[in-house]
Amino acid sequence: MRTLLKWLGISFLGLLVLVVVLFAGTRGDYTVHSLVTENAALPSVEINDVSLHLKVVEGPTDAPTIVVLHGGPGADFRSLLGLEPLSASHTIIFYDQRGAGLSERVPVSQLTLDHHLTELSAIADHFSSDRPIILIGHSWGAMLAAAYLDVHPRRVERVVLIEPGYLDLAGKDAWAAVSENYMSGFNYWREALLIGFRAQHVIATDDDAADDFLIGHMVGQFVNHPENPYHCGEGYTAPSWRFGAAASNRWANAPASEVNQIARITSFQGPVLFLAGACNTWIGPELQAEHAARFSDAQLVIIPNAGHDVIWDNADATLEAIRQFLAAR
């Protein structure tokens, strides 16, 4: 018994020393970008009592409005700014969703799909109250756009859906099963341990800074996994400002009924363009063809030399496909 207690004591002491060494060894000036609630110089708009980071790119007078929805949940619109040339014919609204990017952080109870849909509806009313909008959604943003089509089908003229990961609970379960392959292994957990300790040293400007730092870096590990087909074998280089940990975690644990809200899209009869990266063998062309079959008027365009973030990987081909879709009548 004494021998067991002795070894338990030695093990505990060793673990304590390791923690102290890691904490001291990971010291540094780690930062995250400030939110609009801390930096008044950032462009923002208040929607439903939440301050949202945004960028408005004006088009010609009386031009129709495009609302761009970023991925995540929790990411930002930085990697989607390649859509700006569409302002030759349209006004473009980029915004970081609540709890995401550089927008205000909100309680977890206000990060439901319904809250996101209400926010999107308010954005549409704020910037285009007199005519339907055009939606361009990427990844989670495409899922959000699909859910919005059922709630407000008459508020949308047409929609571009760029590689939504899934459109119902069965799809989410399938996505989660594959994603585990890219969130495991010695290197992944070693990085998680180190980033976890570095997060304790983050110079915080708000209460979410440390968690955002941690989860944002781990999302980077996930998308940059060498076997993850989100990229074309050269790493996932799409830039971002800041990742919202709480928004991501809330959706990961969303109830089944909430996830299945996305699938109720049959009421929208307008034109839909699906875009998929040719390199993405996971949620690329094959899956998006299945998604497109759910709509009455949908087409799929495959973007060459592109992974999950087709706009960042191949902006020219992506813009050409979108321009042709917007010009069609």
Token digits of residue 186: 């010695």
CATH code, domain with 174: 3.40.50.1820
Q: Which residue has the tokens 């940059």?
A: 224
**Which stretches of the chain drop beneath a pLDDT of 70?**
1-29, 189, 192, 196-199, 266
Can you spell out the DSSP letters for 127-139? Answer: H-TTS-EEEEEET
Q: Domain check: are 136 and 257 in the same one?
A: yes
Which residues form the domain of 122?
31-329
Q: What is the pLDDT of residue 19?
A: 43
Answer whether 218's CB lies under 8 Å from 184's CB: no
Alpha-carbon gap, residue 256 to 259, rounded angstroms: 5
For residue 129, what are the contacts with CB-CB under 8 A and spacing of at least 6?
none
* pLDDT for the residue 205: 81
pLDDT the model gives residue 82: 98
Whether residues 168 and 36 share a domain: the answer is yes
pLDDT value at position 97?
99
Same domain, 8 and 125: no
Please tell me whether residues 49 and 7 are part of one structural domain.
no
